[in-house]
Amino acid sequence: MAHANAHHALTVVDMAWPDQCNHHGTLFGGAALSWLDRTAFILASRELGGAVVTAALERVQFSAPLPSGHLGECQARIVRRGRRSGAVRALMDASDARGACPRRCCDVLLTYVALPD
């Protein structure tokens, strides 16, 4: 499920399935970053108007686990935009399957560059 708004932002919600989780029953950090990168990529593609690639991930901070069976709400917003590149801040909040008890679990700054035409 995805939702975009007029403020250059995008939200995508997914569930942590057991095959995406480690032996503690929580989402792998790499899987969390993948979710955030995909969400931010969609937003950057729309905003930069073409083919883009991830150039950098900065200031990755994991602050809480996302347990198997819980929802991860990925929120991305443009924080800087140039002619051929842009920066997107992406956050992931975890909540139970009903969407209750949300808590921040990851925060990252991603840079995207547009490919030549």
Alpha-carbon span 58 to 84, nearest angstrom: 19
pLDDT of residue 6: 52
CB count within 10 Å of CB 91 equals 18
2-114 adopts what CATH topology? Thiol Ester Dehydrase; Chain A (3.10.129)
- Using the Cα atoms of residue 90, residue 65, residue 35 and residue 71 in order, give the sign of their dihedral: negative
pTM: 0.89
Q: What is the pLDDT of residue 116?
A: 86
Tell me, what's the pLDDT at 41? 96
Give me the residue spans of the domains in the chain: 2-114
Identity of residue 69: G
| Average pLDDT for runs of 10 along the chain of length 117 | 64 96 98 98 91 95 96 97 94 90 95 91
